[in-house]
Amino acid sequence: MSEYKELHRPQFHFTARENWLNDPNGLVFYNGLWHLFFQHNIEAPTWGKMWWGHAVSEDLLQWRQQKNALYPDEMGSMFSGSAVVDHHNTAGFGAGALLLFYTAAGMHAEPKAPFKQCLAFSQDGGQHWHKYNENPILDWIEAENRDPKVIWHERSGHWIMALYLDADRFCLLRSKNAKKWAPFQEITLTGDSECPDFFPLRDQDGHERWILAGGSGVYRVGRFDGQVFTPETEMMNFELGRNGYAAQSWSNAPNGRCVQISWMAGGRYPEMPFNQQMSIPVELTLVGSGTDVSLARWPVEELLSLRERSHVIETTTLDAEAPLIAPTKSKLFDLSFTVHKQAAPSLYMVVRGHPLWFDWVTGRLHIEPSGTHKVITDRPFIQLPNTPSLSVRLIIDKTSIEVFIDGGKLSASFCFLPDGYVYPLILHSYSGPQIIENFVVHEMRSIWP
């Protein structure tokens, strides 16, 4: 079997060449390249001691794995963190140097030591990395404090770090030189933990808003002036799926884009040389304004380049005697349609032998786990909007289904293993008719030659 063509290898989602992968780290765009670092156990296809793996891409889809960027050292494993471009040479490594912020996880140090925050830098665009010789830049605060997310706040002229503390508590810190840090605010994201992300977006009125999010996708939208983050919304969640975790956004992205990627946690890849995968990169926007504002997520436009043959059914009526059988034998899809519920109680889909069930009575979408998937978040269903019709988009790879509803206002990530089937994609309506419009299946090509 040729490399990247194994039975359960995703064909347009990033996976490590071999062994274990989890959280995306150090996402930064620089000189035409999207850099993706990731938690990586180079010794086994299971979680363990961590390195930072490294991959680059021109289009967010076709990734080239590079040599590993960070190696475990006497301070411990290399846990999650972030990356920035130091345009103003604040750290003294040169204008345009790339800075990596990471947690040295003392659980793998000898003897065991507290978790501390550290810095590495590159002066050649990410080809070679050097750990700062005066690490740690931030000593232990409490518990297993970790996962520094660093951004530059132009108006105040400071670096801002969001850091996980313990339970569902996070803190914000600031620095002038990316080396010496002072905490200034503590924030709770109820029910979430780890892997903070902190970034600005414009709302529909053109006002700058700031989003603080945790590892499970819980977030709040508010204002930030460099001195204090003031939440203005209730807790919300941008990840409604069972397998989406540790989402991070790219820094220094071009053209004002805000692009995010997640670890699709808990997927199963039996007897494969690799383990775990990333999500499709998504573009983030804010919909609404004031306190009625929320995130929408949509697959990046680059994904359109992978479409091959397309099959279109403009309008059809489903009933018990007339299922919709997609005219394709492909295993890779970009599928979209609008469903008009009528009086039907449910819409039932089977994707490569795996069931999806839209229950219109309870307003829920159920995607059952296949086998004994280990999951980080227990989300048995997606609560759907109570509207007479619904727009749906599904991105389907070898072992994953990503759901985008109502233009991305609802989104969810699921892993699955295919089961036996006659048709790769079929829709049923067993107890009453309903209308399907603009049913479009794009067969997708692999990113691997």
Question: Mean pLDDT per segment of 10 residues, for the chain of length 449 residues?
Answer: 86 98 98 98 96 98 98 96 98 98 86 92 97 97 97 97 98 98 98 97 96 98 97 97 97 97 96 97 96 97 98 95 94 97 94 95 88 58 93 98 97 95 95 95 95
Query: What per-residue confidence (pLDDT) applies to 378?
Result: 66
pLDDT at 369: 77
pLDDT given at position 376: 57
- Contact assessment for residue 86 and residue 96, using Cβ atoms and an 8 Å cutoff: yes
Q: What's the whole-model pTM score?
A: 0.96
Question: Quick one: tokens of 427?
Answer: 């829709």
Alpha helices for 173-295 (secondary structure H) = none
Q: Do domains 19-299 and 303-444 have the same CATH topology?
A: no
Can you tell me the distance from the alpha carbon of 237 to that of 442, in angstroms, rounded to the nearest whole number? 29
- For strands 364-367 and 382-383, give the pairing: antiparallel
pLDDT score of 46: 96
284, 297 in Cβ contact below 8 A?
yes
Q: Give CATH for domain 19-299.
A: 2.115.10.20
3-state secondary structure of 257: coil
Of residues 410, 381, 417, the one with CA closest to residue 396? 417
Catalytic residue (choose from 23, 86, 147, 203): 23
Which sequence spans correspond to the domains of the chain? Answer: 19-299, 303-444
Letter for the amino acid at 205? D
pLDDT value for 158: 98
Q: What confidence score (pLDDT) does residue 375 get?
A: 52
Q: Calculate Rg over the CA atoms of the chain.
A: 22
Place of tokens 């930072």: 52
**Rounded Cα distance, 184 and 227, in Å:** 8
Strands 19-30 and 274-275: parallel
Contact 91, 99 (CB under 8 A): yes
Please choose, from the candidates 79, 91, 152, 153, the residue with its C-alpha nearest in 3D space to the C-alpha of residue 121: 91
Helix (H, G, I), strand (E, B) or coil at 61: coil
**pLDDT computed for residue 379 by the predictor:** 73
What is the helix, strand, coil percentage profile of the chain, to 5? 5, 50, 45
Reported as type and span, the H/E element at residue 78 is strand 77-86
Measured between alpha carbons, how far is residue 234 from residues 21, 244, 245, 293, 352 in Å?
Answer: 33, 21, 20, 10, 38
> 133 burial class (0-12, 13-18, 19+ CB within 10 angstroms)?
exposed
Helix intervals (H) in 69-149: none
Confirm whether 23 is a catalytic residue.
Answer: yes
Is-contact 252 32, C-beta < 8 A? no
Instruction: Find the length of the chain.
Output: 449
Q: CATH second-level architecture of 303-444?
A: Sandwich (2.60)
Per-residue pLDDT at 1: 46
**Exposed e or buried b per residue across 226-260, where buried means at least 16 C-beta atoms within 10 angstroms of its C-beta:** eeebebebeeebbbbbbbbbbbbbbbbbeeeebbb
Q: What is the model's pLDDT at position 106?
A: 87
